[in-house]
């Protein structure tokens, strides 16, 4: 495993825990897109179907279990425990606009026309765009709380670090995964605007506000 | 196997 990937995975874990911590301590899901979290939950479940059929390492299995359980817990907190605080009125992005294209693309572009591989490809494509409802919500409300900004930064950094990992693996191992790389680049590009605002505002101690 | 290649990343 490359250092870039380890850093990426840790950034991913940090993002997930930051979000759970924010919702749990403030007892509020305000400013968080339930739709994005619901789609991330779908991403983990459809990707890690291989949890019991293909063993990679204790590290891999542990992370998979962690991602699935933390994601289910997040969705539970938003839609059940702290449902009253969830800002559904501002969470208006239509999930079918990304789920349907991701499914169609997975049926066309996959490594084998089997249930497991189509499910895996669907998961990769959906992950690339699952953040859209959250970014849409930040744009619509015009701002994000600092901890939400840190969450988005850690989540965006994760796939960016994976890109460095893929470059490293291509040169040193000849490893090349076109589906993951293409989706990973799209995913990272979607965070572009946010990264800019994060560096120019949040890092300087200001709240993240989207200009009208 | 069912997989064309092993998905060894997360």
CA–CA dist A155, A194 (Å, integer)? 11
Find, among A138, A23, A147, A158, the residue nearest to A90 by Cα. A138
Q: How far apart are CA A111 and CA A102, in angstroms?
A: 15
With pLDDT > 90 as the criterion, what percentage of chain A qualifies? 89
Mean pLDDT, chain A, as a whole number? 95
Instruction: Write out residues 40-59 of A within 8 Å (CB-CB) of B.
Output: 47, 50, 53-54, 56
CA–CA dist A157, A170 (Å, integer): 20
Test the B interface: residue of A54, A64, A164 with most B CBs within 10 Å: A54
Whole-number percent of chain A with pLDDT over 70: 99
**Residues A106 and A117: beta-carbon distance below 8 Å:** no
One-character DSSP codes across A86-120: --GGG----THHHHHHHHHHHHHS-SSSSHHHHHH
Residue of B nearest to A127 (CA): B10
Residues 1-10 of B with CB under 8 A from A: 2-10
Distance from CA of A56 to the nearest CA of B (A): 6
Under 8 Å CB pairs connecting chains A and B tally to 35
> pLDDT at residue B1 above 50?
no
Report the pLDDT value the prediction gives residue A143, as an integer from 0 to 100.
87
User: Quick one: pLDDT at residue A206?
Assistant: 82
- φ, ψ of residue A209 to 5 degrees: the values are -125, 135
Asked if A117 lies within 8 A of B9 by C-beta distance, the reply is: no
C-alpha–C-alpha distance, residues A159 and A165, integer Å? 9
Asked if A5 has any chain B CB less than 8 Å from its own CB, the reply is yes
- pLDDT tens-digit map of A18-47: 999 999 999 999 999 999 999 999 999 999
Q: Tell me the per-residue pLDDT of A51-96, one tens digit each, with 9 for 90 and over.
A: 989 899 999 999 999 999 999 999 999 999 999 999 999 999 999 9
pLDDT tens string A117-176:
999 999 999 999 999 999 999 998 888 999 999 999 999 999 999 999 999 999 999 999
Which residue in A43, A56, A122 has the most chain B C-beta atoms within 10 A of its own C-beta, making it the best mutation to test that interface?
Answer: A56
A89 burial class (0-12, 13-18, 19+ CB within 10 angstroms)?
exposed
């Amino acid at each position: 495993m490359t250092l870039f990937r380890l850093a990426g995975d840790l950034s991913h874990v940090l993002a997930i825990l930051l979000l759970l911590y924010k919702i749990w301590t403030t007892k509020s899901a305000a400013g968080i897109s339930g739709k994005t979290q619901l789609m991330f939950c779908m991403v983990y479940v459809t990707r890690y179907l291989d949890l019991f059929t293909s063993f990679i390492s204790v590290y891999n299995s542990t992370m998979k279990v962690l991602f699935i359980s933390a994601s289910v817990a997040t969705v539970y907190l938003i839609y059940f425990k702290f449902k009253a605080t969830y800002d559904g009125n501002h969470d208006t992005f239509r999930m079918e606009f990304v789920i349907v294209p991701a499914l169609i693309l997975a049926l066309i572009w996959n490594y084998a026309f089997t249930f497991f591989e189509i499910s895996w490809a669907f998961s990769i494509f959906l992950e690339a765009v699952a953040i859209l409802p959250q970014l849409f919500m930040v744009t619509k409300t015009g701002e994000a709380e600092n901890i939400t900004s840190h969450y988005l930064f850690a989540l965006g950094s994760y796939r960016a670090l994976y890109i460095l990992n893929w470059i490293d693996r291509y040169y040193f191992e000849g490893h090349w995964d076109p589906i993951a790389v293409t989706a990973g680049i799209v995913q990272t590009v979607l965070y572009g605007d946010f990264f800019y605002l994060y560096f120019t505002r949040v890092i300087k101690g200001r709240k993240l506000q989207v200009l009208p | 196997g069912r997989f064309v290649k092993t998905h060894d990343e997360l």
